[in-house]
Structure 1
Amino acid sequence: MAGWLGRLFHRKKDEPLRCTAVVAAAGSSARMEGQDKLLLLLGEQPVLVHALRALELCPYITEIVIVTREDRIVPVGQLCRDYAFSKVSKVIVGGDTRTASVLAGVREAEEGASLIAVHDGARPLVSQSVLEQVILRARECGAAAPAVPVKDTLKQARDGVVTATPDRASLYAVQTPQVFEAALIRTALTKALEEGASLTDDCSAVERLGVGVALTRGDYRNIKITTPEDLAIGEALFEWSESQ
């Protein structure tokens, strides 16, 4: 493993930057009260369309692979045609877990992709600045993710009783896209899946290999739409951003 990691971090910096974006869009929308969060309208367009447009406009992203549920294949494919997303190369069915779904997308990336950017389809307000910073940082160090400092005081608890108060100054909320050297994330996700690791993000798979993930500047507007309240906040942020 050490030898492989050594080769990773000493790769040529002048290699062409080709980044495949894998869009995680296979969730169940269980907390959206029976509605499909990716197809709900934000402004006048679906949440997923906003996320795909941001990726489409990023000059460093050369390909987009969408991983979704089987029942979404047709509507998602139709959206891509309706909005003429030229970088979307494939819409595929995901697995039973996020790790399995993202790995399926990573395996479909074009052979020449040097980086893989994994983005939540439910994060419609990601900015070009966030995208470009995290991709360029990942090119330098192999793994990077955008993050913002936590605003609230957090508590650890057991059985409803506080057991600890972590230092807020050292805590960050990690966002997507999380960007990795292609061989690194492929290896990390494969290992995590084989070992049955329960992961909530893709950085965790890389961290399990002992690889550090660099944090870049995130954006508080880059929220994930999970609940009806998130959609209301997203609509307000969208309108505010459009007015700037």
Structure 2
Amino acid sequence: MGKNCAIIVAGGKGTRMGKGINKLFLKIKDKPLLAYTLEAFEKNQYIDSIILVSAKNEMEYCRSEIVLKYSISKVKKIVCGGENRQQSVLNGLNAIKESDIVLIHDGARPFVSHKIICNGIKYANMYGACACGVKPKDTIKVKNDVGFSDYTLDRNKLFCVQTPQSFKRDIIISAHKDIMNKDITVTDDTMVAEICGYNVFLYEGSYTNIKVTTPDDLLLGERILRDFNYLDV
């Protein structure tokens, strides 16, 4: 069986949280958000290693106050992030020594389940590239330049992409290097694969697999955590 590595991207500024510190260090029930995220991959039997990507000035804090304090033994390296998420992911990819499948995950998604992680590995092996997500609950409209509704999108064809986004290692490394050389900016890793001609399989995520971005998300996270079990979702 192949090796599976998770890259956890934890170097964002989190300005929308308005707390003055990295939002991943904020706590729910006395534990940092980043610790919950790392524990989800630590406890998954199919994850062999974790690469944590951090801001340069937060690397030691991540090591001492997160990785060591919460005994995240699968973290093999903490690497310095880049100027943007795209560069940070590539730095993480370059730090992998041995892996067949790579799962790239936002550090700010602490409620990812074992089922989502396992399906990411399964579908990446089958299709080369995949991402989890959910159907939007709301009707989505396109707004014109003067503030009026232009038209309404077909909700049945829309998909709110989450992480992890999972890939065969060779595919995602070569794709990232290719777009970096072409100076193309992307917002997530499925775009990287798509731009380079790869089809991305989309599979079911979870509405509890939220990205904690605002203070309201912290309150929602507390409610999710009351009933959350990595194995059940």
Note whether the superposition's TM-score is higher than 0.5.
yes
Note if contact 2:103-2:120 (Cα within 8 Å) is conserved in structure 1. no
- Which of the numbers 148, 151, 172 marks the counterpart of 1:164? 151
Query: Size of the alignment, in residue pairs?
Result: 228
Work out the CA distance in 1 between the residues paired with 2:46 and 2:208.
Answer: 22
Please state how far the C-alpha of 1:158 moved relative to its aligned partner. Answer: 2.4
**What is the root-mean-square deviation in Å for CA atoms of aligned residues?**
1.5
The residue number in structure 2 matching 1:57 is 43
Q: Spell out the pairing of 1:54-203 with structure 2 (5 A cutoff).
A: 54-78=40-64, 79-110=66-97, 112-159=98-145, 160-203=147-190
Note if contact 2:49-2:74 (Cα within 8 Å) is conserved in structure 1. yes
- Which of the numbers 21, 45, 54 marks the counterpart of 1:35? 21
Note if contact 2:8-2:51 (Cα within 8 Å) is conserved in structure 1. yes
Deviations 1:43-74 (A, max 9, x none): 22100000000001111111100111012111
- Which of the numbers 11, 31, 36 marks the counterpart of 1:45? 31
The alignment partner of 2:14 has SS state of coil
Percentage identity across paired residues of the two chains: 36
Q: Name the aligned partner's letter for residue 44 of structure 2.
A: C
Pick which of 157-166 and 38-47 moved more.
Answer: 157-166
The alignment partner of 1:175 has SS state of strand
Note if contact 2:12-2:22 (Cα within 8 Å) is conserved in structure 1. no
Work out the CA distance in 2 between the residues paired with 1:193 and 1:155.
Answer: 32
The alignment partner of 1:74 has SS state of helix
Q: Name the aligned partner's letter for residue 73 of structure 1.
A: M
Work out the CA distance in 1 between the residues paired with 2:216 and 2:184.
Answer: 30
The alignment partner of 2:191 has SS state of helix
Q: Name the aligned partner's letter for residue 175 of structure 2.
A: A
Please state how far the C-alpha of 1:170 moved relative to its aligned partner. Answer: 0.6
Note if contact 2:140-2:153 (Cα within 8 Å) is conserved in structure 1. yes
Deviations 1:109-157 (A, max 9, x none): 12x3001100000000000111111111111111111111111111111
Work out the CA distance in 2 between the residues paired with 1:157 and 1:196.
Answer: 29
TM-score by length of 2: 0.94
Please state how far the C-alpha of 1:161 moved relative to its aligned partner. Answer: 2.2
Unaligned runs of 5+ in 1: 1-15
Work out the CA distance in 1 between the residues paired with 2:139 and 2:93.
Answer: 36
TM-score by length of 1: 0.90
Q: Which runs of 4+ in 1 moved over 6 A?
A: none
- Which of the numbers 214, 219, 226 marks the counterpart of 1:232? 219
Deviations 1:171-200 (A, max 9, x none): 111111100000110011112222222211
